[in-house]
Amino acid sequence: MSRVTVIIPNYNGLRFMEPCMSALSAQTYTDFCVLIVDNGSTDGSVEWIKARPELRAILLKENTGFAGAVNIGIEAADTELVLLLNNDTEPEPDFIEELVRAFDEDRRGRLFAASPRMIQLYHRELLDDAGDGYNLLGWAFQRGVGQSVESPKFQRRTQVFSACAGASLYRRDLLSRIAIKGEQSYEGRDGESYRCREYFDTEHFAYLEDLDLSFRARIEGLDILYVPEARIYHVGSGTSGSKYNSFKVRLAARNNIWLSYKNMPLLMLILNLPGLLVGTAIKQVFFIRKGFGRDYLRGLSEGITGLGSCRRRRFELRNLLSYIRIELRMIGDTFSYVEDFLRRKL
């Protein structure tokens, strides 16, 4: 039995599969297996997978979104650790080894996830993500994006608000601990039925589901670590096709409302409401200028009207200290975001 399962969700990503698999075959750490979860692809991905019987794969009939695909993969894994990996990535040879090392050095057993140093594939001198932050404006952001890959700030390990699920290693038992109650059922291409727990909230479908997951882990007092020694190259928006598009803007706006509503207790929501409203107004203006103002507004509308169906987390007094730490981290991430923004501009 392997120690790590590498779960690759795929939706019409045939052009990325060969480089990704080639990089995995060159890993110095070999105690892992690969599981591809195809999300109803129509670009030849299924035929490519079937032509390689050595690959373990789950072929779904329809697109279940990122959340649905990785949930099925996590449920099917029988390993201690699971590595969620976007298909538009190419890891360095010691990538998995360095992430696993972080868990080996975790003496308290509270490390929930390890997030790597993600580098822009086509601009290898620039960072793509050094762990994800979440600030008082309600904005999730990629730490270090657009900055030098050798920036001293991002050379050291540090706690971050969230791991980027595009290339992060998770402890499977801790994923089970914070899973949402209930199960989902999905149909395979050949009529199979797959049932799984909801580790990532499927209501999100895609975008911010990893931050939502990390928020739940933070409430439980678990650790999320940025590991700069683990380096991976990332195309970015490989499935959606662009940094900004109608689908992505709408879903991100909707999910952003659900994220704070589901995870913040009432007092915390009231405390952060002014910042959240300011952040929403700034983004509305930003997307109007980008030509996506209507999509952003539509996403906000869907988010507000969908609050009634959100599975809001109940406040538990035992987690009070965790909420205080989360608030302090959001304050720190606000300063970090401003610093990163100014560095990019200067």
The pLDDT, as a whole number, for residue 242 is: 60
Structure tokens at 324: 């205080």
pLDDT, tens only, 313-344: 999 999 999 999 999 999 999 999 999 999 88
Average pLDDT for the chain: 94
Domain ranges of the chain: 4-234, 246-345
pLDDT, tens only, 251-288: 999 999 999 999 999 999 999 999 999 999 999 999 99
Contact 180, 198 (CB under 8 A): yes
Please state, in angstroms and rounded to a whole number, the distance separating the CA atoms of residues 87 and 262.
29
pTM passes above 0.75: yes
Structure tokens at 274: 């002014």
- Rg of the chain over all Cα atoms, to the nearest angstrom: 19
Contact 163, 115 (CB under 8 A): yes
Kindly tell me if the per-residue pLDDT of 309 is higher than 80.
yes
Please state, in angstroms and rounded to a whole number, the distance separating the CA atoms of residues 258 and 250.
13
Which residues, listed in sequence order, are joined to residue 197 by a DSSP beta bridge? Answer: 183
Given pLDDT bands bounded at 50, 70 and 90, which one contains residue 206? confident
For the structural domain made of 4-234, what CATH number should be given? 3.90.550.10
Query: Which run of H or E residues covers position 48?
Result: helix 45-50
